[in-house]
């Protein structure tokens, strides 16, 4: 019986889907602020996203938290206060648009992010996942190969896209 169970699990959950890559750690919101506001750790207050004391990393962390929570409009509000030619901004604009059902706009943002930084493996992973959603597995595989060629083997970007290709299930973070 035990052998049968192990064999069945091996078929349903192949180890190759989960090997070679860490599971992402979901961002935990530090403090919930009103829309367009970001928690400033230094002042311990919610401040407008345009506040000059905030670092780009502070803003991106807030965007990640909002996107993970499914608040794509809130994430886009913060993204609007960020440099619009930054590949990370473009990547998250692509992600939030795609998750809100604007696949074409999402793909356009990913393309722009990759023009700025062809080695942006997160943009490649999200773009590939969008391709999986559209049934375009051949191009998703091309993105997976590109992630690996840029040294992304074993990263969350590679693992999540590989899993999406294998299962058809994409990620919301």
CA–chain centroid gap for 52, Å, is 26
Residue 25 confidence (pLDDT): 54
Q: How far apart are CA 105 and CA 41, in angstroms?
A: 33
Q: What is the mean pLDDT of residues 120-143?
A: 98
Q: Which pair of structure tokens corresponds to residue 88?
A: 């990370």
Tens of pLDDT, residues 53-80:
788 888 888 898 888 889 899 999 999 9
State phi, psi for 34 to the nearest 5 degrees: -65, 160
**pTM for this prediction:** 0.78
Please work out, in degrees rounded to the nearest 5, the angle formed at the alpha carbon of residue 145 by the alpha carbons of 116 and 126: 55
Question: Distance between CA atoms of 72 and 168, rounded to whole angstroms?
Answer: 22
Residue 99 pLDDT exceeds 80 = yes
User: What are the distances in angstroms from CA 27 to CA 13, 52, 65, 142?
Assistant: 26, 23, 5, 29
Residue entry with tokens 């886009």: 76
Task: Give the pLDDT band (50/70/90) at residue 20.
Answer: very low
The mean pLDDT value of the chain amounts to 83
For residue 37, give every residue at least 6 positions away whose Cβ sits within 8 Å of its Cβ, in sequence order, or none: 46, 47, 48, 49
Per-residue pLDDT of 43-52, as tens digits, reads 778 877 887 7
């Amino acid at each position: 019986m035990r052998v049968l169970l192990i064999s069945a699990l091996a078929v349903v959950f192949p180890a190759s889907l989960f090997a070679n890559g860490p599971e992402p750690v979901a961002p935990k919101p530090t403090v919930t602020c009103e829309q367009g506001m970001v928690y400033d750790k230094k002042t311990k207050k919610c401040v407008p996203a345009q506040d000059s004391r905030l670092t780009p990393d502070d803003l991106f962390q807030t965007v990640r938290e909002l996107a993970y929570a499914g608040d794509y409009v809130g994430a886009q509000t913060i993204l609007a206060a960020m440099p619009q030619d930054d590949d990370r901004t473009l990547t998250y604009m692509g992600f939030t648009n795609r998750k809100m059902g604007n696949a074409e706009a999402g793909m356009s943002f990913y393309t722009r992010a990759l023009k700025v930084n062809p080695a942006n493996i997160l943009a490649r992973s999200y773009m590939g996942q969008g391709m999986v959603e559209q049934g375009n597995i051949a191009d998703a595989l091309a993105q997976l190969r590109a992630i690996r060629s840029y040294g992304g083997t074993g990263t969350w970007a590679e693992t999540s896209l590989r899993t999406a290709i294998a299962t058809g299930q994409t990620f919301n973070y």
